[in-house]
Homo-oligomer: A and B are copies of this chain.
Amino acid sequence: MRQATTIISTGTAGRGLTDITAAIAEWLHETGIEEGLLTLLCRHTSASLLIQENAAREVRSDLVAWLDRIAPEGPHYAHDDEGPDDMPAHLKTVLTGVNLSLPVIGGRMALGTWQGIYLAEHRRAPHRRQIALHLLGT
């Protein structure tokens, strides 16, 4: 049994989802671990991680629009000194979550056929985001 850790950095283009599945899979492959447990932690409070459909692009745009409806910008936040999109970004981060744990079986993450891993940027502006990775296995 052995473990590996790293921190990867990903640029975002502002509000929206970035598919990071291939980057994660590449790091997993480099470690040579075939069976184990992979954990991801997004080290921010206004960006998050989620697993969603990797086929129809409209699923992602509908998701981003729904998050805007559920956590809208507006005058009802006490925390507004970092811009009107900041507090909604914190709320969307809480709703979607910042960590994922994935079984690794046969050298691959045990994702379903239609599942991709996405970094969700909730601020309007592009940001550079860090994700801590931990892998344990054989």
Residues of A near any B CB (own CB < 8 A): 1-3, 5, 7, 35-37, 39, 41, 43-45, 50-53, 56, 58-59, 61-63, 65-66, 70-71, 76-79, 81, 87, 90-91, 93-105, 110-112, 114-115, 130, 132-134, 136-138
Contact = CB atoms under 8 A, between A and B. Distances in A.
* Copies per assembly: 3
B91 A63 contact: yes
Contacts of A87: 59, 62
A62 B56 CA distance: 31
The majority secondary structure among interface residues of chain A is mixed
Given A94-B50, A94-B96, A137-B3, A43 B77 contact: no
